[in-house]
Structure 1
């Protein structure tokens, strides 16, 4: 009879441990993925910004030395990521490939202009910054026109701000759920030992002495859950990188390592925090209230 009861208690204890580890794993896995998404969303938004071209067109009077001097100026500029010179002949050839006809045959001349296709660094693809760059270029009297998608620049920046705001809200919400879920699992685990806690207290054990084994056990369970979450996150990253190598999700190893280390630290911290207050609650209960 006693052995049957002991087996039941053992199964119950294992089930309690499993629920704690599972709770820690699921919550930290989601938080870790969200943290990595936030990091990579910044990278993706920067890459998208840097794909928006700015075309600077020159007047026909601009000779090779003027065009070369402008190219050298671009290479020295802090706001330029890449620049490409497009001669009027190259532009005509591209138009011919696109429309399928040689428009110069019936026009009799090449109406296109020499130009530079410029891609700015992400930090400068902002409303005010890009306008300052535009005004600076227009100081050159040989420049006839500057073309870029102003509406797209504003749209990208506004949407990035909205997305960042919503991600912060979701992160805070998930963090709250993480604390509540793990705290609930820890409480259930300690609840089954409430009589042992009270018995130890009645024979003179101090609160810190009673709390210590529960906290150490919970930290171990938290570490196990966090390690499982880290392994799962790495697996997801490797899979995404194999399917979408252009995203470069594994490039920033320092940031990824920081997030994974944060997941481990969060697992330990939440486990300690939840167990401390859960045991404190039962330590402060009267014997009658245990039932």
Structure 2
């Protein structure tokens, strides 16, 4: 009879552990997806920023040697990502193609200037920093004009800031939900052992001694849940990368490292804190309060 009861208790305990692991794994999976969106949103935003060009139009008297020296000096600047030199002949061909006719036949001469297209690093693609760069370029005797799409830069910066703000708000909300759900799962698991906790306390066991096995057990369950969540995230990343290869999810090892570390660290911290306070609550209860 006792053996049958012990077997029943063991199955009940295993079932409780499985439900806790599944609950934590689902929450960590949700947080992992959100974390992946946050990490890649920065990459996507930087991708669009680095597609914006700033064009330097050179004066007519600038020699080839002076142009090469200017290009060499530009490449040393920290804000430069790529440089493309475009002659006025190449610019004329491109413009004629865009409008569908050769405008040089009407004008008789080429009014365009030799130019250098600059693509800046994403950190410098803001209205303020690009204005500073423009002001410095205008002081150069070789440059006649600096051109870039200012309204586009302002709109791009504004939209990125708005999206980043709402992503942070969403992250905070889901983070709070994750803490509440994981905490509830662990509290229910420990609730079923509240009489064992009180019995150990009554025979003289210290609070630290009682808490320690519960904390380690919860941490192990959290690590197991995080492994399950990471396997689910790996499957999502694989299929997303397969259909949207431009995101380069499987090649971005830094972001993947942050994601794995974040999931494991979140599982460890939340399970440890939740278990500590849950056991502390039952340790502070009187014996007659355990029935309510």
Structure 1 and Structure 2 fold alike (TM over 0.5): yes
Q: In structure 1, what is the Cα distance between the partners aligned to 2:130 and 2:264?
A: 42
Q: In structure 1, what is the Cα distance between the partners aligned to 2:77 and 2:276?
A: 57
Report what 2:88 is aligned to. Answer: 88
Q: Which moved more, 1:138-147 or 1:51-60?
A: 138-147
Report what 1:130 is aligned to. Answer: 130
Q: In structure 2, what is the Cα distance between the partners aligned to 1:225 and 1:183?
A: 14
- What value does the CA root-mean-square deviation take over the aligned residues? 2.3
Q: CA deviation at 1:83?
A: 1.0
Residue 56 of structure 2 is aligned to residue 56 of structure 1: yes
Pairing 1:141-290 to 2, within 5 Å after superposition: 141-290=141-290
SS of alignment partner, residue 78 of structure 1:
coil
- Measured against aligned partners, the alpha-carbon deviations of 1:236-274 in whole angstroms (never above 9, x if no partner) come to 222222222222223342342233123112212211221
- Measured against aligned partners, the alpha-carbon deviations of 1:103-154 in whole angstroms (never above 9, x if no partner) come to 2223322222211111111122122221121122212344332211111112
Note the residue ranges of structure 2 that are not aligned, 5 or more in a row.
Answer: none
Note the residue ranges of structure 1 that are not aligned, 5 or more in a row.
Answer: none
Q: In structure 1, what is the Cα distance between the partners aligned to 2:63 and 2:213?
A: 82
SS of alignment partner, residue 77 of structure 1:
coil
Q: CA deviation at 1:186?
A: 0.8
- Measured against aligned partners, the alpha-carbon deviations of 1:24-80 in whole angstroms (never above 9, x if no partner) come to 112222222322322222222222111101112223333433333322232232221
Report what 2:70 is aligned to. Answer: 70
Pairing 1:3-18 to 2, within 5 Å after superposition: 9-18=9-18
Q: CA deviation at 1:277?
A: 1.5
Q: In structure 1, what is the Cα distance between the partners aligned to 2:78 and 2:2?
A: 78
- Name the TM-score, length of structure 2 as normaliser: 0.89
SS of alignment partner, residue 113 of structure 1:
coil
- Measured against aligned partners, the alpha-carbon deviations of 1:207-235 in whole angstroms (never above 9, x if no partner) come to 33332332222121111101111222222
Q: In structure 2, what is the Cα distance between the partners aligned to 1:274 and 1:21?
A: 14
SS of alignment partner, residue 276 of structure 1:
helix
Q: In structure 2, what is the Cα distance between the partners aligned to 1:288 and 1:6?
A: 25
Q: In structure 1, what is the Cα distance between the partners aligned to 2:258 and 2:80?
A: 30
SS of alignment partner, residue 101 of structure 1:
coil
Q: In structure 1, what is the Cα distance between the partners aligned to 2:215 and 2:73?
A: 63
Q: In structure 2, what is the Cα distance between the partners aligned to 1:99 and 1:156?
A: 27
Q: In structure 2, what is the Cα distance between the partners aligned to 1:89 and 1:165?
A: 45
Q: CA deviation at 1:276?
A: 1.8
- Name the TM-score, length of structure 1 as normaliser: 0.90
Equivalent pairs, count: 291
Q: In structure 2, what is the Cα distance between the partners aligned to 1:171 and 1:86?
A: 45
Q: In structure 1, what is the Cα distance between the partners aligned to 2:48 and 2:237?
A: 21
Q: In structure 2, what is the Cα distance between the partners aligned to 1:258 and 1:222?
A: 18
SS of alignment partner, residue 62 of structure 2:
coil
